[in-house]
Amino acid sequence: MEWLGHAKIGFTHAPSPRPVKQKDGQETDLLKICEQATPPCQLNPLLFNGHLQTMWTATKPHGPSVYYRRKLFEAENEAYAGTFAVDFVVDPHEEEDSSLPPRTAYFTDKQWDNIGSDDSRPMLLVLHGLSGGSHEIYLRECIKPLIDQGGWDICILNARGCGKAKLTSGVLYNARATWDVRQVVSWAHRTFPNRPLFALGFSLGANKLANYCGEEGANCLLKAAVICCNPFNLDVSFMKLKTSFIGREVYLRVMGMSMTKLIETHKTELSKYSDLDLDDIQSAKYLHEFDRKIQCPSWGYPSVSAYYRDASSVDAISAIRIPFLAIQATDDPIAVKEAIPFEEFEQNPNTILLTTSLGGHLCWFENGGTRWYPRPVTNFLNHMAFQVDLESVKPDEEPRTWANAGRKTVYEPMRRKLRMVGQS
């Protein structure tokens, strides 16, 4: 039936998923919540594989209108100096700023001074994909139902240099750049002490969010997180893409062009703040060439494969201690099936992997142009925020270790190769 657009849905999970207590006193578990949140997946039968689904985005539908106000944050950690932009969803306004994306304006000083609150509304932090921003259609499609329903506060963390934000240092973002995520979550926890915090990540932002949750472990301040179309194992995804003509000449080329265009936008700032060979970078045609020319020298990786292996979030799944839902299409031509860590999801009771046999990359187009994935995302977030006793979903404090029988060696999933000088 897949050729008629009826996608198969699967759930990968631990034998005993994490138990969850609801506000009405009923006991359930994370798997049951995810199953109840997931509607049938019936997509446009004319877009019958991942390539057609993914390429349909080239039609550039307008998408829903979402209005933002922007605040520039100064990095608190000196090792990652610079500023980054966070866009907050606000009521519609008529202010226009040509230096910002559509429907976006800066906070006034007075508005920002009064942003703190002791209310208990749930708050959602969203991370976009490669070279994107708060203006992306796939992002707006997903958060619009939460906006229309009311009851949520939402903000989008723009990666450095994205969303028309200026660079103010030579520190760029990469596939495992979790430092700005950590700062915004901590800021929100202080500024809105009674708000339960949730997070949502797309594609490269999904990879960063998974890494953040794994790095934080039992100290994670989020109540739950959702990711969509995570490439997980970046080296495997890259190898898969470069071995096919369409993977190399369409996807790797288009993603590379988007990044070189981003660098061109910030050429003046990069000339001032970095020693990068910008003329050489502009000659990059493919994403891996861009990463070799900019990510490797920026961070000290000896090869692009070393960067991809270190930035991957496959191991992070083992370290996550909060309710965590990953949504993937197994025909995704970018976040490929071969890179999904099925075994890790089978071992961690805090995580659920939801797969569909159709959908492409951040698409899942239905008849009429609507998209399927906003429904399981919003259903899950609404259930966790409004029906679950959040005291029952505190980060799992039970230590999870992997050791040999004599305990002479221990596997630490989040022990990264890239570290600050002086760290053990």
Residue 172 CA, distance from chain mean position: 17
Both tokens assigned to 108: 């006034």
Is 134 a residue of the active site?
Answer: no
Choose, from 288, 332, 383, 396, the residue flagged as catalytic. 332
Is 331 a residue of the active site?
Answer: no
Contact (Cβ atoms closer than 8 angstroms) between residue 173 and residue 146:
no
Both tokens assigned to 297: 């020298």
Contact (Cβ atoms closer than 8 angstroms) between residue 400 and residue 318:
yes
- How far is it, in rounded angstroms, from Cα 349 to Cα 202? 22
- How far is it, in rounded angstroms, from Cα 335 to Cα 252? 12
- How far is it, in rounded angstroms, from Cα 4 to Cα 24? 40
Beta strand 123-127 with 197-202: parallel, antiparallel or unpaired? Answer: parallel
Choose, from 203, 274, 312, 318, the residue flagged as catalytic. 203
Contact (Cβ atoms closer than 8 angstroms) between residue 141 and residue 374:
yes
Choose, from 128, 135, 361, 383, the residue flagged as catalytic. 361
**Dihedral-angle region of residue 173 (phi above 0 means left; psi in -120 to 50 means alpha; beta otherwise):** beta
- How far is it, in rounded angstroms, from Cα 365 to Cα 209? 24
Which helix (H) or strand (E) segment holds residue 246: the answer is helix 245-246
DSSP-derived letter for residue 218 is G
Is 266 a residue of the active site?
Answer: no
Catalytically active residues, by annotation: 203, 332, 361
